[in-house]
A and B are shown apart, each in its own frame.
Chain A
Amino acid sequence: MASTDSAATDFSDDLPAELAAEERRAPAGTGPWRIALRRLRRNKVALAFGVLFLALVAVSLAAPIWAEEVAHTTPYQNRIADTITIDGEERNIVEFDGVPIGPTWHGEYFLGADRNGRDVMVRLLYGGRNSLLIGIGASIITMVLATLLGLLSGYFGGWLDWVISRCFDVMWAFPVILLGVALGVSLNISGITIGPLELESGSLWIPTVIIGIAYVVYLARPIRGQVLALREKEFVEAARAQGMGPWRIMLTELLPNLASTLLVFFPLIVANAILLEAALSFLGAGVQPPEPSWGLMISEGIEFLTSAPHLTIAPGIMLVLTVLALNIFGEGVRDALDPRAKIRLEH
């Protein structure tokens, strides 16, 4: 069994009983946030992977710098019939049989080319931007919608709760990936306009919105449950007795109490959203070419797996590293804030 000393180096071995004991050891008056922060700071593995995630974000943000200064190209530039000179040797970027050049480990075509003669490294960095943007954007949409629906349904109850809960039932019954693919494909054909929201076909917003909506029910249900319990607490009753309106109670009394749940879910939702984006793009329902994304690059690479495996391996490694970093950091956050939280997501 994990001893207390070794708990400093692992990421989820802290037993709930030990954590509870530690909570009691802390000096009286230490707030729950401070305890959580202290726990997280002690969890070096989770922190290291948190830093790795930030590094991956930074690298992806630096995509234009690499593209302009090092590779001298753009993610879209095709050079099918061109040659480049490596170590004094002139080589075709794409061979006559269609096989693209492998990694050169030089500035240009650092990780080789794809079948259109595009620079894989540059596309990898820009693809990372898109994958991260979609993952994080979708998770923010999920957070906002789930909090709103969970609060409304849990606090007001009655017919509103009934309607929202039945909508959750329907969403729950939809196979996530089938729903995502069906929506993604049809939206990408001609785009859609719903009131002020205008989604053009091929826009990155399409997968972002779809993924954001797909995960709402996974978060909204636990939030609704929490609100149901909180609503009966004395401090909410006191607020009501003071004459506070329902919206203010939700915002100032309930929302702060939901913050730890939201924080626990966020990194894990981002991880799953990135994986779902990859799956949708793999099936042609996510990011649309020529725009790069890790999932799309894997899907394009699989055709050339036997002749140019780097096309599949490189984006996959970036994807796994990113998701792994988020998962481990996310578990660290969960262990610090709420070790008993039961989280269920699907991708």
Chain B
Amino acid sequence: MARFVVRRLVGMVLVLFAVSVLTFLIFNVIPNGDPAVRMAGKNSTPAQIEQIRKEWHFDESLPQQYLFMMKQIFTGKLVSYSDQTNVWEQIRMGLPRTFALGIGAAILWMTLGILLGLYSAVKAGRISDRVLTVLALIGISMPVFWVGALMNYYLGYKLEWFPNGGYVEISEGGIGEWLYHLILPWTALAILFIGVYSRILRSNILDTINDDYVRTARAKGISERRVMTRHVLRNSLIPIVTLWGLDFGLVIAGGAVLTESVFDLQGVGQYFAEAIGRLDVPPVMAVTLLGAVFIVVLNTVVDIVYAVLDPRIRLG
């Protein structure tokens, strides 16, 4: 077991190294104009441009530039090319917002996904199951930024039930205001996953419902409700829980960029979106790496948990 964990951890570090090199190359090999010229502005002299080039190490070789950037990332000294703000400070400001969005949405989609999936499976084939299936399919077919924009327009602007975007810190407006501003973003982000999860759970339940151990449980004479919750649901939930870990990682690692932009939550995703518009490489680099760390760590945790539960995986 220890060897398995060590192997996974080493793999994790190598993957992250590769991701950082790739992201760096995307911006430094694809010709996208001279960053020094961009930073100097329109009315700059060649001497000024040369000065900036030296100051920001643009005149060095690619590997040296890469090392310089990684050093800055790990010492927390990375600054944006466009406004010279410290990237880590910006990320630290955005991260609680992204987590607030991601955690809330994840709780919402897990709860509703399980409830609707279970209901659908119990009512399989009936009208209510059909309706839920159609709704789930519509849910997974809608772009989140479109749903978010329409919610903002109809529920926020027209009916004035909800605020028109923005994020309020708990310390500023209290828990009520915080919740009030997050309900729409949570819902918009969760819709897709509710659709996915309820359908996976439904088919898992329908698969296990005919298994031998379920029949045995029924034969023992326990109530149908207990068979469902204690035997069927418990086993059907395992794949959903692992999926939940991975999807949560994806949402934090960039899936939230669209939702944040539409609702103007000023999280890490929106920071990324705004930086890319200015071709500001350091924030893009940092956010992508952070996202990859999140995905890789959660993937590794899921793998290890799985290996603990199921020894066959370790051998594979």
Q: Which residues of A contact B133 (CB under 8 A)?
A: 10-13
9 contacts between A and B (CB under 8 A): A10-B130, A174-B292, A181-B276, A182-B288, A190-B31, A278-B146, A283-B273, A305-B157, A328-B137
Task: Tell me whether B296 is interfacial, beta carbon within 8 Å.
Answer: yes
Which of B33, B141, B255 touches A177 (beta carbons < 8 Å)?
B255
Tell whether, in the assembled complex, residue A178 and residue B254 are in contact, meaning their CB atoms are under 8 Å apart: yes
Tell whether, in the assembled complex, residue A173 and residue B296 are in contact, meaning their CB atoms are under 8 Å apart: yes
CB distance from B243 to the nearest CB of A (A): 8
A71 to B245, CA, bound (A): 51
Tell whether, in the assembled complex, residue A182 and residue B279 are in contact, meaning their CB atoms are under 8 Å apart: no
Q: If the complex has contacts A6-B125, A305-B149, A319-B146, are A185 and B279 also in contact, measured as CB distance less than 8 A?
A: yes
CB distance from B277 to the nearest CB of A (A): 6
Tell whether, in the assembled complex, residue A10 and residue B146 are in contact, meaning their CB atoms are under 8 Å apart: no
CB distance from B241 to the nearest CB of A (A): 15
Q: If the complex has contacts A3-B125, A174-B19, are A186 and B279 also in contact, measured as CB distance less than 8 A?
A: yes
Tell whether, in the assembled complex, residue A320 and residue B250 are in contact, meaning their CB atoms are under 8 Å apart: no
Number of interface residues of B (CB under 8 A): 59
A1 to B202, CA, bound (A): 12
A309 to B154, CA, bound (A): 10
Task: Tell me whether A169 is interfacial, beta carbon within 8 Å.
Answer: yes
Query: Main secondary structure on chain B at its contact with chain A?
Result: helix
A189 to B279, CA, bound (A): 10
CB distance from B288 to the nearest CB of A (A): 5
The 10 closest A-B pairs by CB, nearest first: A2-B125, A175-B254, A324-B141, A323-B141, A175-B291, A316-B146, A178-B254, A175-B253, A189-B32, A170-B18
Tell whether, in the assembled complex, residue B124 and residue A2 are in contact, meaning their CB atoms are under 8 Å apart: yes
Tell whether, in the assembled complex, residue B149 and residue A189 are in contact, meaning their CB atoms are under 8 Å apart: no
Task: Tell me whether A282 is interfacial, beta carbon within 8 Å.
Answer: yes
Give per-residue flags for A152-190: 1 if the beta carbon is below 8 A from chain B beta carbons, else 0: 000000000000001001101111111101110111011
Which of B142, B261, B287 touches A178 (beta carbons < 8 Å)?
B287
A279 to B272, CA, bound (A): 14
Task: Tell me whether A306 is interfacial, beta carbon within 8 Å.
Answer: yes
Tell whether, in the assembled complex, residue B210 and residue A17 are in contact, meaning their CB atoms are under 8 Å apart: yes
A275 to B153, CA, bound (A): 21
Q: If the complex has contacts A284-B277, A320-B141, are A302 and B26 also in contact, measured as CB distance less than 8 A?
A: no
Tell whether, in the assembled complex, residue B295 and residue A173 are in contact, meaning their CB atoms are under 8 Å apart: yes
CB distance from B24 to the nearest CB of A (A): 11
Task: Apart from A175-B292, A346-B250, list 17 A-B contacts with CB within 8 A.
Answer: A3-B125, A13-B124, A13-B130, A15-B206, A174-B295, A175-B253, A182-B26, A189-B31, A189-B33, A275-B141, A282-B143, A283-B257, A302-B145, A302-B149, A316-B146, A319-B146, A324-B141
CB distance from A201 to the nearest CB of B (A): 10
Contacts between the two chains (Cβ within 8 Å), count: 165
Q: Which residues of B contact A312 (CB under 8 A)?
A: 146, 149-150, 153
Q: Which residues of A contact B203 (CB under 8 A)?
A: 12
Tell whether, in the assembled complex, residue A186 and residue B26 are in contact, meaning their CB atoms are under 8 Å apart: yes
Give per-residue flags for B178-212: 1 if the beta carbon is below 8 A from chain A beta carbons, else 0: 00000000000000000000010001001100100
Best-buried of B19, B141, B149, B243 by chain A (most CB within 10 Å): B141
Q: Which residues of A contact B258 (CB under 8 A)?
A: 177, 279, 282-283
Tell whether, in the assembled complex, residue B250 and residue A309 are in contact, meaning their CB atoms are under 8 Å apart: no
Q: If the complex has contacts A178-B287, A186-B30, A190-B32, are A285 and B143 also in contact, measured as CB distance less than 8 A?
A: no
Q: Which residues of B contact A176 (CB under 8 A)?
A: 250, 254
Tell whether, in the assembled complex, residue A173 and residue B19 are in contact, meaning their CB atoms are under 8 Å apart: yes
A279 to B141, CA, bound (A): 13
Task: Tell me whether A295 is interfacial, beta carbon within 8 Å.
Answer: yes
Tell whether, in the assembled complex, residue A306 and residue B124 are in contact, meaning their CB atoms are under 8 Å apart: no
CB distance from A44 to the nearest CB of B (A): 13
Tell whether, in the assembled complex, residue B27 and residue A186 are in contact, meaning their CB atoms are under 8 Å apart: yes
Task: Tell me whether A37 is interfacial, beta carbon within 8 Å.
Answer: no
Q: Across the two chains, which residue of chain A brings its CB closest to B292? A: A173
Tell whether, in the assembled complex, residue B30 and residue A192 are in contact, meaning their CB atoms are under 8 Å apart: yes
A280 to B281, CA, bound (A): 18
Q: Which residues of A contact B273 (CB under 8 A)?
A: 181, 283
In the complex, chain B residues 111-160 whose Cβ is within 8 Å of any chain A Cβ:
124-125, 129-130, 133, 137-138, 140-143, 145-146, 149-150, 152-153, 157
In the complex, chain A residues 259-298 whose Cβ is within 8 Å of any chain B Cβ:
271, 275, 278-279, 282-285, 295, 298
In the complex, chain A residues 289-333 whose Cβ is within 8 Å of any chain B Cβ:
295, 298-299, 302, 305-306, 309, 312-313, 316, 319-320, 323-324, 327-328, 331
Task: Tell me whether A256 is interfacial, beta carbon within 8 Å.
Answer: no
CB distance from A104 to the nearest CB of B (A): 22
Q: Which residues of A contact B261 (CB under 8 A)?
A: 283
Task: Tell me whether A32 is interfacial, beta carbon within 8 Å.
Answer: no
CB distance from B246 to the nearest CB of A (A): 9
Task: Tell me whether B86 is interfacial, beta carbon within 8 Å.
Answer: no
CB distance from A181 to the nearest CB of B (A): 6
Q: Which residues of B contact A2 (CB under 8 A)?
A: 124-125
CB distance from A309 to the nearest CB of B (A): 6
Tell whether, in the assembled complex, residue B210 and residue A169 are in contact, meaning their CB atoms are under 8 Å apart: no
Tell whether, in the assembled complex, residue B153 and residue A306 are in contact, meaning their CB atoms are under 8 Å apart: yes
Tell whether, in the assembled complex, residue B257 and residue A178 are in contact, meaning their CB atoms are under 8 Å apart: yes
Q: Across the two chains, which residue of chain B brings its CB closest to A177? A: B254
Q: Across the two chains, which residue of chain A brings its CB closest to B246? A: A344
Which of A6, A11, A178, A275 touches B253 (beta carbons < 8 Å)?
A178
Q: Across the two chains, which residue of chain A brings its CB closest to B157? A: A306
Q: Which residues of A contact B254 (CB under 8 A)?
A: 175-178
Task: Tell me whether A16 is interfacial, beta carbon within 8 Å.
Answer: yes
Task: Tell me whether B23 is interfacial, beta carbon within 8 Å.
Answer: yes
Tell whether, in the assembled complex, residue B149 and residue A298 are in contact, meaning their CB atoms are under 8 Å apart: yes
In the complex, chain B residues 279-316 whose Cβ is within 8 Å of any chain A Cβ:
279, 284, 287-288, 291-292, 295-296, 299
Q: Which residues of A contact B295 (CB under 8 A)?
A: 172-175
